[in-house]
Amino acid sequence: MSREKDLEFSDRELASEVRSDSSVAFEQLMRRYERLVYRVAYGFTGNDEHAMDITQETFLKVHARLDSWRREGDLKNWIARIAANEAMNWNRSLRRHPTCELDEAAFLQPDDPPQEDFLLERETHDALQRSLSSLNPRHRLAVVLRYFRGMSTREISGVLECSEGTTRNILFRSLRRLRSVMTDSEEALP
Amino acid sequence: MSDCVRFEPTIQAYIAGDLHDTELGPLLAHCRNCKDCRQLLELHRDLVGLASRAPEPHGADFDALHARVLGEVDRQARSSRSDRVESPARAIPWYLPAGNFTRAVAALAAAVLLFVVGLSTGRVLSERGVRPGNGSATNGNGGVTNRLIKAINADATSNLELADVEDSRFTYSNVSFRRLDGDRVGLDFDVTTHVQLVEPVRSEIVGEILVHSLLNPSTTGARLKAMSYAAGAIEPKVQEALIFAMRRDESLAVRIKALTILSDQLVDPDVERAVLVTLRDDESVQMRLLALDYLAAQSVDGDRIRETIERSERPGDEALMVRLAEYENQL
């Protein structure tokens, strides 16, 4: 396995090949980070189709801006930040041009067996997703990377370009904020 | 409340996934009596649950995405190249005298570029030969793809006459639609069709398709079938493909089959080296034992085999050493 690892190109080598117009290298780079980008996009949108579209846009941006990547920085972190920006732009544009999403619950037949679990799960899912949008972009990115990508505080601090202590603090404050948003919305129920 | 402040670093560590086991007990005890902190832990658990239910796209979804991105990058590159055709002439200020050397060089460069672009455009257009509106391909195989699109269009046109039957030689997969400006739609899809040919055994097309079927991610059964045929037609290119399959194929059955076929070629130093690498690196002990059997049967130097095994440091080395000792005792 370590031999296989040795044969892999480093990010820097891949980036240099991509700059020389190698589509093979760019495909390799996409393969390396597709799931990271998808997860960030999904964490920001909660919708798999949107996440795939954002992934596509992110890699187009990565290709176009690779010259501006600072080589001393970590390519993975740089890509994660682009993905987060793309996802936020996407959400902003959705707010400006809202679309109608299919509601799975609407397709449940009256005779179907009880779907309380499904509906309850979906309700929690939707409530959490809504409350995530109350976080500022930096805090939301930290939460997305922690939960949707399973990153350690050390890795997250690389993306956010801050210390591990600050990252821990951001995560803690984000969860407190989410808790208060969710509690408020529950209390607002009739 | 003061307790909550005391437990803040513990909760931070818990959320970050760095909490030591010994600290968990006191935290849970505190949470039994503290609603605020309990809600934080519950929220953490809900977020973990939410993330675990996130869909995981298939590899094919990402393959289609790569194709779309690479197609778009290619399209942008071609469009920027055609923009650059005009730029040398524009780069020379209009006020330079007509006989200026720089201007002459720029004009010459522009002429050469225009000639090259004109030549390639002419070739592309002659290859395409499709009527406007029939679409154009962006996968880099313009000629081939556009001939394919022409054939698909012919099928689609003939299907229009059928009331409720779709009869096509083609199968489409990974299809996606994108709405574009001007009442147009962007289509991305893979298309496959079945071809039947009778060709001479040693023809280039047979070699080409054999090598591809050994290497491409088709089914294990298809790769094994191709290997059975490859056993009777080992040419340098096929041998190379077999070595690749023996070293890299994810299926043990395919790797074993490739090794078995190549065992007849062990006199070739390239094959011998590849089998030694397999003996050293393959993740399967069964595969490594088989490699050892073939090497021993071909009387490859025992010391070389021993040295190879010693370098591997993989599980199964002991079994290999025992088998090697058996061979050495037989000798």
Q: Which of B41, B50, B250, B281 to mutate to test the interface with A (most CBs of A within 10 A)?
A: B50
Q: Are residues B284 and B246 in the same domain?
A: yes
B191 lies in a domain?
A: no
- Cβ burial B185-204 (10 Å sphere, 16+ → b, else e): eeebeebeeeeeeeeeeeee
Name chain B contacts of A129, Cβ cutoff 8 Å: 50
| Alpha-carbon gap: B220 to the closest alpha carbon of chain A (Å) | 22
Interchain contact B91–A (C-beta under 8 A): no
Task: Give residue A84's pLDDT.
Answer: 92
B195 lies in a domain?
A: no
Q: Are residues A68 and A134 in the same domain?
A: no
Task: Give residue A124's pLDDT.
Answer: 73
Structure tokens at A189: 């129920």
Q: How far apart are CA B86 and CA B96, in angstroms?
A: 18
Q: Are residues B124 and B70 in the same domain?
A: yes
B118 lies in a domain?
A: yes
Task: Give residue A168's pLDDT.
Answer: 92
A161 lies in a domain?
A: yes
B199 lies in a domain?
A: no
DSSP β-ladder status, B170-180 and B184-193: antiparallel
Q: Are residues A14 and A79 in the same domain?
A: yes
Q: H-type helices in A46-74, by residue range?
A: 48-65
B181 lies in a domain?
A: no
Q: Are residues A90 and A162 in the same domain?
A: no
Task: Give residue B120's pLDDT.
Answer: 40
Which residues, other chains included, contact B159 with Cβ-Cβ below 8 Å and sequence gap of 6+?
B165, B166, B167, B168
A152 lies in a domain?
A: yes
Q: Are residues B40 and B101 in the same domain?
A: no
Number of domains in chain B: 3
Nearest to A132 by CA among A10, A46, A12: A46
- Which residue, of B11, B32, B52, is where some domain finishes? B52
Give the domain range for residue A140. Answer: 115-190
pLDDT along chain B (331 residues), means of 10: 78 87 87 89 89 87 91 83 52 39 45 42 35 47 68 74 58 78 81 76 78 74 79 78 87 89 86 90 90 87 86 82 84 55
Q: How far apart are CA B24 and CA B172, in angstroms?
A: 54
Interchain contact B66–A (C-beta under 8 A): yes
B326 lies in a domain?
A: yes
Q: Are residues A40 and A13 in the same domain?
A: yes
Q: Are residues B223 and B256 in the same domain?
A: yes
Which residues of chain A are under the pLDDT cut of 50?
1-6, 100, 102-108, 189-190
Number of domains in chain A: 2
Contact A56 B57 (CB under 8 A): no
Q: Are residues B308 and B230 in the same domain?
A: yes
Name chain B contacts of A135, Cβ cutoff 8 Å: none
The residue of chain A with its CA nearest to that of B77 is A21
- Which residue, of A72, A98, A124, is where some domain finishes? A98
Hey, which residues does A158 pair with through a beta bridge? Answer: none
Q: Are residues A128 and A181 in the same domain?
A: yes
| Alpha-carbon gap: A157 to the closest alpha carbon of chain B (Å) | 12
B196 lies in a domain?
A: no
**With contact defined as beta carbons under 8 Å apart, do B227 and B261 qualify?**
yes
Q: How far apart are CA B222 and CA B215, in angstroms?
A: 11
Q: Are residues B44 and B65 in the same domain?
A: no
A104 lies in a domain?
A: no
Q: Which residues of A touch B (CB under 8 A)?
A: 3, 21, 23, 26-27, 30-31, 34, 38-39, 42-43, 48, 52, 55-56, 59-60, 63-64, 121, 124-125, 128-129, 143, 146-148, 150, 152-153, 167-169, 171-172, 175-176, 178-179, 182-183
Contact A147 B8 (CB under 8 A): no
Interchain contact B44–A (C-beta under 8 A): yes
What is this structure's pTM? 0.50
Give the domain range for residue B286. Answer: 204-330
B40 lies in a domain?
A: yes
Q: Are residues B84 and B151 in the same domain?
A: yes
| Alpha-carbon gap: B59 to the closest alpha carbon of chain A (Å) | 10
Q: Are residues B101 and B208 in the same domain?
A: no
Task: Give residue B179's pLDDT.
Answer: 79
A3 lies in a domain?
A: no
The residue of chain A with its CA nearest to that of B17 is A152
Q: Measured between CB atoms, which of B18, B40, B43 is closest to A153?
A: B18
pLDDT digits (tens, 9 = 90+) for A158-170: 999 899 999 999 9
Residue whose pair of structure tokens reads 């002419």 in the numeric block: B122
Task: Give residue B104's pLDDT.
Answer: 44
- What CATH number has the domain bearing residue A175? 1.10.10.10
A82 lies in a domain?
A: yes
- Which residue, of B35, B52, B69, is where some domain finishes? B52
A166 lies in a domain?
A: yes
Q: Are residues B225 and B125 in the same domain?
A: no
Q: Are residues B148 and B232 in the same domain?
A: no
- Which residue, of A98, A124, A149, is where some domain finishes? A98
Name chain B contacts of A121, Cβ cutoff 8 Å: 53
A189 lies in a domain?
A: yes
How far lies B186's CA from each of B71, B133, B134, B135, B168, in Å? 12, 12, 12, 9, 21
- What CATH number has the domain bearing residue A91? 1.10.1740.10
What is the distance of C-alpha B174 from the center of its chain? Answer: 15
Q: H-type helices in chain B, by residue range?
A: 2-16, 21-33, 35-52, 59-91, 101-128, 142-160, 204-215, 220-230, 236-248, 252-262, 269-281, 285-297, 302-312, 317-330
Q: Are residues A185 and A128 in the same domain?
A: yes
Contacts of B27-32 with C-beta under 8 Å, sequence gap 24+, read B30/B3, B30/B4
Query: What amino acid occupies position A61?
Result: K
Which residues, other chains included, contact B253 with Cβ-Cβ below 8 Å and sequence gap of 6+?
B220, B224
